[in-house]
A and B are shown apart, each in its own frame.
Chain A
């Protein structure tokens, strides 16, 4: 059973506009939610996280919103830049057994 779902496999936006990547989860016991960014042929790199006790965390151009009632989180990138083109994974982080299950990822393409 997949604990997180990223229902949009791809997203294309124009440079300078906002990118919104979404993630839905099923388990309410997660303590944190993490977003990772991955370029082709490289390992994922940590981007931003949010604690389950918060509803928003901001770091520069990146903001993550958490809606616990809807079990939904989103990553906003504004303004989007061509260098943001990558695959973005959301991953819950919780107390159950040390496993971090990633979503299938959303491929973001930012067009110049």
Chain B
């Protein structure tokens, strides 16, 4: 999957705990996207970030979820006080540029982080 690194690959949390998912984009990519795939559903957009900025968080639940992409280090998706319904696969993707219609621009996905809430 072209170098987007996500960790952990699998994470188990008890209800009420915090989950932190990390994503290192491809080298040179400054745009990061987080998606969630619930069981039996397709990929759902959550948030789009550039370095130190949240560009679009319209797909992010209003409470308990937050995301950041600091100047240094990976992007972090943080879920506080997890509930069973948060159990899902969380995919990170990165692109060289945003979606300004640049020819041939595509986004590359990581392998995903599987969160299980027990």
Number of interface residues of A (CB under 8 A): 28
A100 within 8 A of B: yes
A42-B112, A99-B59, A102-B35 known; A89 vs B43 contact (CB < 8 Å)? yes
B111/A42 in contact, CB under 8 A = yes
Q: Majority SS of interface residues in chain B? A: loop
Contacts of A99 in B (CB 8 A): 45, 48, 56, 58-59, 99
Contacts of A34 in B (CB 8 A): 106
Complex Cα gap A48–B105 (Å): 11
* Among candidates B4, B43, B103, B104, residue contacting A102 with C-beta atoms closer than 8 Å: B43
* Among candidates A36, A41, A89, A93, residue contacting B105 with C-beta atoms closer than 8 Å: A93
Complex Cα gap A96–B112 (Å): 25
A43-B91, A43-B111, A44-B91 known; A98 vs B56 contact (CB < 8 Å)? yes
Contacts from A to B (Cβ < 8 Å): 6, 31-32, 34, 36, 41-46, 49, 51, 87, 89, 93-105
Contacts A41-B114, A94-B99, A100-B99 aside, 17 further interface pairs with beta carbons under 8 A come to: A34-B106, A42-B111, A43-B111, A44-B109, A45-B1, A46-B106, A49-B104, A49-B106, A87-B42, A97-B48, A97-B55, A97-B56, A97-B99, A98-B55, A99-B48, A99-B58, A104-B41
